[in-house]
Amino acid sequence: MTETAANTDVALPKMGGVEKAALLLLTLGEEVAAQILQHMNPKQVQIVGAAMATMENVTRPMVEFVLNDFLDLLENQTALGIGNDSYIRGMLEKALGDKAGNVIDRILMGSGSNGLEALKWMDPKSIAEIIRLEHPQIIAIVLSYLEPDSAAEVLSNLPENTRAGILMRIATLDGVQPAAVKELDSIMEKYFSDNDNVKSSMVGGEKTAADILNFIDTSIENKMMEQVRTENEDLATRIEDLMFVFDNLRDLDDRGIQTMLREISTDLLTLALKGIDEEFQQKFLKNMSSRAAEMLVEDMEAKGPVKLSEVEAAQKEILAVARSLEESGDIVLSGGGEEMV
């Protein structure tokens, strides 16, 4: 599908929200773009920055289309009234799509925290050092605020005997009361809201736990889930049902597979495909050139038996690529406990 620039018959390539944002920032110039980026969180800066870095062959009609689209958005949204919750929610959902949920909660529920936001810019190992001696409930709250990939790395750097307990606390979090936020305030040595009437922050839950596990090394994940299952089998099952696993890629369309293959090395794919059935393998092979598919099959046969841990590690890396492509709007993933409509 293509888009058409306003007042022209020029067909434009389909652009997602990330690509439009990247092109808009490039158009606005270095100084203005820098000021805008200062208001984004680390993950957003990374995603938009990567899109800006890879953008090429930008035509004048493309620029005009994005600018007109942006102006239309401003005109329509401004009519809702600045400061109105529906205006803010609509604007963020249009700008960030499915990723807007946590940002909306933090803004509309008064839960924005300088301390927690500062942690997002820190190295995960450093975060682990800061919180490793704190109460597991406090650690669970901190990890729930971080992006899943960062939270996974922090969790991996915490003592092994504490990981499963922390994961269970994340999965069973049902909002964070102001008193807990104040306790976290003292730990982070930052200032949070003193308003006791502030609504609970929508952090944690089974989906957050599942998202974090998606980024954790398989060997660590298996040990943690064994401990969780020993404590609460129903909770373990619900978490696993929400996880995005390699088998979910069966639902990815051919175009999505082709996009993903461009980002994956042959060595990684060779390992990952060793652990799946022939029908699933064909989903990848049919989206490659005949020669590339033949070479991949030869490499798989020549490799012989491999350790299951190596296969699982390769599949995790491919899943990380898939999630990154989904965040940038390049592919659409299903599964992970979410219905597609």
| pLDDT recorded at residue 98 | 54
Cβ-based burial of 265 (10 A; exposed 0-12, middle 13-18, buried ≥19):
exposed
- Domains of the chain, with CATH numbers? 2-108 (no CATH), 114-242 (1.10.220.30), 246-327 (1.10.220.30)
Q: Is 189 helix (H, G, I), strand (E, B) or coil?
A: coil
| pLDDT recorded at residue 337 | 41
Q: How far is CA 270 from the centre of its chain?
A: 25
Closest alpha carbon to 174 in 137, 223, 212, 124: 137
Mean pLDDT of 191-219: 62
List, for residues 112-158, the tens digit of each pLDDT value.
Answer: 445 566 677 677 888 888 888 888 888 888 888 788 888 898 999 99
Segment 310-314 long-range contacts (CB within 8 Å, at least 24 positions apart): 310/271, 311/271, 311/272, 311/274, 311/275, 312/218, 312/275, 313/217, 313/218, 313/271, 314/268, 314/269, 314/271, 314/272
In the block, residue with structure tokens 């200062």? 38
Q: Where are the beta strands (DSSP E) in the chain?
A: 2-4, 11-13
DSSP letters, 250-303, are GGS-HHHHHHHHTTS-HHHHHHHHTTS-HHHHHHHHTTS-HHHHHHHHHHHHHH
Q: Which one has a higher pLDDT value, 203 or 283?
A: 283
| CB neighbourhood size of 1 (10 A) | 5
Mean pLDDT of 22-44: 77
Q: Is 8 left (phi over 0), alpha (psi -120 to 50) or beta?
A: beta
Mean pLDDT of 179-206: 52
List, for residues 271-330, the tens digit of each pLDDT value.
Answer: 999 878 889 999 999 999 999 999 999 998 888 888 888 888 888 888 888 888 887 788
Q: Which one has a higher pLDDT value, 232 or 328?
A: 232
Segment 230-235 long-range contacts (CB within 8 Å, at least 24 positions apart): 231/164, 231/168, 232/168, 235/168, 235/171, 235/172, 235/206
| pLDDT recorded at residue 257 | 93
DSSP letters, 192-252, are ----TTPPPB---SHHHHHHHHTTS-HHHHHHHHHHHHHH-HHHHHHHHHHS--GGGGGGS
pTM of the predicted structure, to 2 decimals: 0.45
